Structure 1
Amino acid sequence: MSDTTAAPFPLAPASSGTWQRHTLTQRMLRYALWLFMVWALVQSLRHVEVIPEFLYDAPEQMGDMLTRMWPVDWSHYPDTIHSALMETLHMATLGTLLSLPLAVPLGLLMASNLTRNRALNFMARVLLVSSRSVNSLVWALLFVAIFGPGPLAGMLAIALRSVGFVGKLIAEAIEQTPRGPIEALQAAGASTLAQVWYGYWPQIKPAFWSVALLRWDINIRESGVLGLVGAGGIGMALDTALNLFHWNRVALVLIAIFAVVLIAEVVVVQIRKRVL
Structure 2
Amino acid sequence: MNASTLPSYPRHWQRYTAGQRLLRFALYLLFIAAIVQSARTIDVIPEFLYDAPQQMGDLLNRMWPIDWGSFRGTVSSALLETLHMATLGTMLAIVLAVPVGLLAATNLTRNRGLNLLARFILVSSRSINSLVWALLFIAIFGPGAVAGTMAIAFRSIGFVGKLLGEAIEEAQPGPIEALTATGASTASIIQYGYWPQIRPAFWSIVLLRWDINVRESAVLGLVGAGGIGMALNSAMDLFQWDRVALILVLIFAVVILAEIIITRSRRSLL
Taking structure 2 as the reference length, the TM-score comes to 0.93
Shift of 1:25: 4.4
Name the CA distance, whole Å, in 2 between partners of 1:222 and 1:247: 22
Give the distance between the partners of 2:134 and 2:202, measured in 1 at CA: 26
Q: Structure 1 CA distance, aligned partners of 2:166 and 2:69?
A: 48
Matched, 1:43 2:37: yes
Residue 193 (structure 1) aligned with residue 187 (structure 2): yes
SS in 1 for 2:51: helix
Q: Do the aligned partners of residues 181 and 32 (structure 1) sit closer, same or farther apart at CA in structure 2, a change above 3 Å counting? A: farther
Q: Shift of the alpha carbon at 1:174? A: 1.1
Equivalent in the alignment of 1:3: none
Determine which of 93, 96, 104 is the counterpart of 1:99.
Answer: 93
1:17-28 pair list within 5 angstroms: 17=10, 20-28=14-22
1:207 aligns to 2:201 (yes or no) = yes
Relative distance call for 1:22 and 1:204 in structure 2 (3 A) is: farther
> Following the alignment from structure 2 to structure 1, what is the Cα–Cα distance between the partners of residues 118 and 21?
38
Over alpha carbons, which structure has the higher Rg?
1
Amino acid at match of 2:6: P
Q: What is the CA-CA distance between 1:22 and the residue it aligns to? A: 4.4
State which drifts further: 63-72 or 194-203.
194-203
Contact 2:134–2:148 (CA under 8 A) maintained in structure 1: yes
Residue of structure 1 equivalent to 2:8: 15
Aligned counterparts of 2:20 and 2:177: Cα–Cα separation in 1:
41
Structure 2 counterpart SS, 1:61: helix
* Superposed CA RMSD: 1.7
Distance in 2 (CA, whole Å) between partners of 1:35 and 1:189 is 61
SS of 1:221's partner is helix
- Give the Cα–Cα distance (whole angstroms) in 1 for the partners of residues 146 and 87 of structure 2: 12
Q: Which amino acid aligns with 2:146?
A: L
User: CA offset at residue 26 of structure 1?
Assistant: 4.0
Given residue 245 of structure 1, which amino acid in structure 2 is its aligned partner?
A: F
Q: Pairwise mapping of residues 116-265 of structure 1 onto structure 2 (< 5 A)?
A: 116-265=110-259
Quick one: distance in 1 between partners of 2:129 and 2:172?
Answer: 34
Matched AA of 1:72: I
What is the alpha-carbon distance in structure 1 between the residues aligned to residue 62 and residue 202 of structure 2? 45
Structure-2 residue corresponding to 1:89: 83
Letter in 1 for 2:61: T
Alpha-carbon distance between aligned partners in 1 of 2:19 and 2:171, rounded to the nearest angstrom: 36
Equivalent of residue 268 in structure 1, options 234, 256, 262:
262
Q: C-alpha distance in 1, partners of 2:87/2:264?
A: 17
In structure 2, the CA distance between the partners of 1:184 and 1:29, relative to structure 1 (3 Å rule), is: farther
Corresponding residue SS for 1:114: coil
**SS at the partner of 1:46?**
helix
Q: Which amino acid aligns with 1:116?
A: R
Q: Could you say if the C-alpha distance between residues 35 and 179 of structure 1 is closer, same or farther in structure 2, counting changes exceeding 3 Å? A: farther
**How far apart, in 1, do the equivalents of 2:187 and 2:254 lie?**
40
SS of the residue 1:16 aligns to: coil
Q: Distance in 1 between matches of 2:162 and 2:25?
A: 34
* Structure 1: distance between partners of 2:128 and 2:35: 26
Contact 2:81-2:145 at 8 Å conserved across structures: yes
Change in 2 beyond 3 A, CA 1:51/1:110: same
2:126–2:158 Cα contact (<8 Å) kept: yes
1:82-101 deviations in whole A, cap 9, x for unaligned?
11100000000000000001
TM-superposed CA distance for 1:35, in Å, is 2.5
State the number of aligned residues. 266
C-alpha separation in 1, matches of 2:24 and 2:198: 38
Amino acid in structure 2 at the alignment position of 1:262: I
- Cα offset for 1:151? 0.3
